[in-house]
Amino acid sequence: MKTTVDIPEKALADAMRFAGAKTKREAIVTAIEDYNRRKRMAELIRYSGTSETLLSNEAIEDLEKKRTRRLGKPGK
């Protein structure tokens, strides 16, 4: 989608440098993708620890130990 936007030159130059981008378009797309990723992660973190159906890290480790013993593999 083509869009005309007035972006401050220094901000765009910094975005290009930080993204390692060779073009303005690449820098802008990278910045938008990074922004969206961060927002998605923040949304997931907001729900962290709120589910009673998800296993804790300790429970997962216990299951792995039981599985390892059951299969006869050496434990950690």
Here the tokens at position 27 are 């820098």
The tens digit of pLDDT for each residue in 29-76 reads 999 999 999 999 998 888 776 777 777 788 889 999 988 888 876 655
What residue segments make up the domains of the chain, in order of their start? 9-70
Q: Which residue has the tokens 């962290």?
A: 48
Name residues whose C-beta falls within 8 Å of residue 7's C-beta, 6 or more positions apart in sequence. 28
Cα angle 14, 20, 22 (rounded to 5 degrees) comes to 95
pTM: 0.60
Radius of gyration of the chain (CA): 22
Distance, CA of 46 to CA of 41 (rounded, Å): 9
